[in-house]
Amino acid sequence: MAYELMVLANEAARSLVSFLGMEALLATLVFLPVLLLSRLLRGASPMLVQALWALVLIRLVLPLDLKSPIGIGSLAAPADLIHAVEAIGADFGAVLADAAASAGDARGIPSGGSAAAGTNDVAVWPIALGLAWLAGVLTIGSRLVGRRRAHRALVRDASAVSDAHCLELSERWRRELRIRRRVRLVSSDESLAPFTCGSLNPVIYLPAALLRREEADVLESVLAHELAHVKRWDDLMLMAQLAIAALYFFHPLAWLSVRRVREAVERGCDELVLSRGRLAPKTYGRSIIAVLRLKLSGHPALAPALDSNTRRIRMRLQAIMRKRSRTGWRARRALALPAALGLGLLLLPLAGRPVVQSEIGAAVPGLGQDSLVWVDPMPGARITSWFGPALNPFTGQGAQHRGIDLAGAAGSPVLAAAAGVVEEATVEYSGGSQNGTVVILDHGAGIKSFYSHLDELRVGVGESVPAGALIAIQGSTGKVTGAHLHLEIWVAGEPRDPALYIRELSAVQR
Q: Are residues 291 and 156 part of one domain? A: yes
Through-space distance between the first and last CA atoms of the chain, rounded to whole angstroms: 23
Burial class of residue 510 (count of CB atoms within 10 Å of its CB; 0-12, 13-18, 19+) = exposed
Residue that terminates a domain, selected from 113, 137, 161? 137
Q: Are residues 437 and 315 part of one domain? A: no
Q: Are residues 162 and 132 part of one domain? A: no
The pLDDT score that the predictor gives to residue 292 is 81
Q: Are residues 298 and 437 part of one domain? A: no
> Is 90 contained in some domain?
yes
DSSP code per residue over 321-384? HS---HHHHHHHHHHHHHHHHHHHHHHS---SS-SSSPPTTS--TTSS-TT-----SSTTPEEE
> Is 276 contained in some domain?
yes
Burial class of residue 226 (count of CB atoms within 10 Å of its CB; 0-12, 13-18, 19+) = buried
The CATH number of residue 497's host domain is 2.70.70.10
Residues in the chain: 510
The pLDDT score that the predictor gives to residue 341 is 78
Q: Are residues 430 and 302 part of one domain? A: no
> Is 158 contained in some domain?
yes
> Is 367 contained in some domain?
no
> Is 374 contained in some domain?
no
Q: How far is CA 75 from CA 66, 78, 251, in A?
A: 14, 6, 25
Q: How far is CA 360 from CA 86, 354, 364, 412, 503, in A?
A: 15, 8, 8, 24, 5
Neighbours of 421 (CB within 10 A): 16
Q: Are residues 151 and 94 part of one domain? A: no
- Check: CB of residue 43 under 8 Å from CB of residue 267: no
C-alpha torsion sign, points 369, 370, 371, 374: positive
The pLDDT score that the predictor gives to residue 380 is 86
Q: Are residues 322 and 413 part of one domain? A: no
Q: Are residues 204 and 94 part of one domain? A: no
Rounded Cα–Cα distance for residues 53 and 260 (Å): 7
Domain count, the chain: 3
Residue that terminates a domain, selected from 295, 320, 343? 343
Q: Are residues 323 and 301 part of one domain? A: yes
CA dihedral 490, 493, 497, 503 (to 10 degrees): -30
> Is 393 contained in some domain?
yes
Q: Are residues 225 and 335 part of one domain? A: yes
Rounded Cα–Cα distance for residues 441 and 421 (Å): 5
Rounded Cα–Cα distance for residues 144 and 415 (Å): 56
Domain range enclosing 444: 382-506
Q: Which residues pair with 348 in a beta bridge?
A: none
Q: Report which residue type is found at 410.
A: A
Q: Which residues pair with 485 in a beta bridge?
A: 406
> Is 118 contained in some domain?
no
The pLDDT score that the predictor gives to residue 355 is 36
> Is 281 contained in some domain?
yes
Q: Are residues 215 and 98 part of one domain? A: no
- Three-state DSSP state, 153: helix
| Per-10-residue mean pLDDT, the chain, length 510 | 63 80 88 88 80 91 74 52 48 46 37 38 73 94 89 90 92 94 92 87 91 84 93 92 94 92 89 88 87 72 57 75 61 67 76 40 40 84 85 72 90 93 94 92 92 94 93 92 92 89 71
Q: Are residues 168 and 64 part of one domain? A: no
Rounded Cα–Cα distance for residues 126 and 112 (Å): 21
Q: Report which residue type is found at 211.
A: L
